[in-house]
Amino acid sequence: MNTLLNNPAEFAALIQRFFLERLIQQRNVSPRTVEAYRDTFRLLFGYAEQCLHKAPAQLTLNDFNAELILGFLDHLESVRDNCIRSRNARLAAVHSFSRYLALQSPPALHLAQRILAIPSKRFEKPMLGFLSREEIRAVLAAPDSDTWFGQRDRLMLQVLYNTGARVSEVIGIRIEDVTIDSAPCVRLHGKGRKQRTVPLWRETAIQIRKWLQHQCMQTDKPLLPNRHGKPMTRANVAERIALAVCRAESQCPQLCGRHITPHSFRHSVALHLLQSGVDITVIALWLGHESSTTTHGYIELDMQMKERALKALNSPATKKARYHPSDALLKFLEGL
């Protein structure tokens, strides 16, 4: 047996080269991708230490096998209560390292191939959650405009709905990314370092202008800061949305018991654009979808579109009646 497979230093060196050379230098992946892969291997090494009673620095290539990965995936679901999506995301990170392992360490090729053969799990895709226009209006008006936090939250909710941005894109907006003069718009920094510009409604631009007039912030500062002047976190945004929804329930009872997330605003603006007759390719550009196929899911939500299609199609059991003119003049013209 090849000694490299039982050498802890070889496995540790491969892990380090995978992150520093493959991910950061060669592929130039985003910091979020590095963090996601890092967290996956932290969890994996913690699980391996429990099962194999070895510290991460003592693990070898022989320890990194399909049995360990399968046990780790089961651990994620059964012990950590991760959903299948999270389980598949962790597996994708392990697969990425396994492909690198197969190229860099031929003696470990058989180990990498068995890991790469582990499939992603299929899962039920739930219907997308969205808010009606009435519900949106109630939530947007919920924060108290007499307080600093309420003014910020109103602007945050307005920008979320106007742009259909992901929560990471909203908290990443800097003041220099906003144009509120001739043609109001905002530049969003999306997934995979892709940027896009989204126009702003007049109401949104006015709200941003009023917000900036009362704030003494530099252009490189976040548009939506926390109390310490730093960018809001995902958890902070979710918490403020939950608070706004709770306050809006008195004006809009149908919000009671609903789980509203930042992504609910993204789904809502997409559906409302679709109902307004905006072409689906434009909506895809608005949301920053790499493919318009992703945007097709919003058609499933639009019951009005389905009802129009239903009216255009007769039921198979319905016989289409033939027209018979009732007027003598019409009969004459019909007989020509």
- Structural domains of the chain sorted by starting position, each given as residue range(s) with its CATH number in brackets: 3-116 (1.10.150), 133-310 (1.10.443.10)
Is pTM beyond 0.85? Reply is: no
User: Buried (b) or exposed (e) across 100-122, using 16+ Cβ within 10 A?
Assistant: bbbebbeebeebbeebeeeeeee
| 263 counts as catalytic | yes
In tens digits, the chain (336 residues) has pLDDT values of 578 899 999 999 999 999 999 999 999 998 889 999 999 999 999 999 999 999 999 999 999 999 999 999 999 999 999 999 999 999 999 999 999 999 999 999 999 999 999 999 998 776 667 888 999 999 999 999 999 999 999 999 999 999 999 999 999 999 999 998 889 999 998 877 788 999 999 999 999 999 998 877 788 899 999 999 899 999 999 999 999 999 999 889 999 988 899 999 998 998 888 888 888 888 888 888 877 667 776 766 666 666 665 566 555 665 656 666 677 777 777 777
| 152 counts as catalytic | no
| 161 counts as catalytic | no
**CA-based angle 110:111:112, to the nearest 5?**
90
| 259 counts as catalytic | no
- What whole-number distance in Å separates Cα of residue 47 and Cα of residue 169? 33
| 121 counts as catalytic | no
- What whole-number distance in Å separates Cα of residue 164 and Cα of residue 186? 12
Query: What's the full length of the chain, in residues?
Result: 336
Among residues 95, 266, 267, 272, the one annotated as catalytic is 266
pLDDT, position 219:
84
Q: Which residue has the tokens 């799990």?
A: 121
| 306 counts as catalytic | no
| Among 301, 312, 245, 255, CA closest to 274 | 301
Among residues 166, 240, 267, 272, the one annotated as catalytic is 166
